């Protein structure tokens, strides 16, 4: 595991070669390791990167959780979607709570942007890294998107 310093605290990144398999909030500070994920996460937090291209592999979880994570990975930068909308996309409109649980178990937060999933009406609810981190990530993306739109 190596650590990437960020405005939301240190992120522990586990990779096998170039492939990211896990990101953890609140890692113990450690020397920064050169890795494509280090570069891309740093660029993301600097507002310079909107699409991660670092390879990742979603491991573990149930079939439903993996389906949720794959949906989350498709959410465009600066956009949000509700838990209910993901449940509907997966063919089970009543599974919003299960989608929330799957989001909480996302093994690669930030890169697989579970912070972009919100409650009905855009309500800020639940996030494995805490609501403060979720808010900061959404604010960063909104700020960058606005800056790009206005030049």
Domain ranges of the chain: 2-45, 63-150
Active-site residue, 103 included = no
Q: How far apart are CA 77 and CA 108, in angstroms?
A: 16
β pairing state of 81-82 and 117-118: parallel
Token representation of residue 124: 């800020």
Task: Walk along the chain (151 residues) and give the pLDDT tens digit of each residue.
Answer: 899 999 999 999 999 999 999 999 988 877 777 899 999 999 999 999 999 999 999 999 999 999 999 999 999 999 999 999 999 999 999 999 999 999 999 999 999 999 999 999 888 887 888 899 999 999 999 998 887 777 6
* Residue 14, beta-bridge partner list: 22
Q: Please calculate the CA angle 104-75-95 and round it to the nearest 5 degrees.
A: 50
Q: How far apart are CA 107 and CA 142, in angstroms?
A: 24
- pTM of the prediction? 0.93
Catalytic residue among 68, 86, 114, 138: 114
What is the dotted CATH code of the domain comprising 63-150? 1.10.10.10
């Amino acid at each position: 595991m190596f650590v990437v310093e960020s405005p939301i605290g240190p992120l522990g990144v586990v990779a096998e070669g170039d492939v990211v398999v896990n990101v953890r909030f609140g890692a113990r500070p450690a020397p920064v390791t050169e890795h494509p994920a280090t570069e891309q996460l740093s660029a993301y937090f600097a507002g310079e990167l909107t699409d991660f291209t670092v390879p990742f592999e979603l491991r573990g979880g149930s079939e439903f959780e993996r389906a949720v994570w794959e949906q989350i990975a498709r959410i465009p930068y600066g956009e949000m979607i509700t838990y209910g909308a993901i449940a509907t996309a997966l063919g089970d409109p009543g599974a919003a709570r299960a989608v929330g649980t799957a989001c909480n178990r996302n093994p690669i937060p930030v890169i697989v942007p579970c912070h972009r999933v919100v409650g009905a009406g855009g309500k800020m609810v639940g996030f494995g890294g805490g609501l403060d981190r979720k808010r900061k990530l959404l604010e960063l993306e909104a700020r960058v998107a606005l800056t790009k739109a206005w030049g």
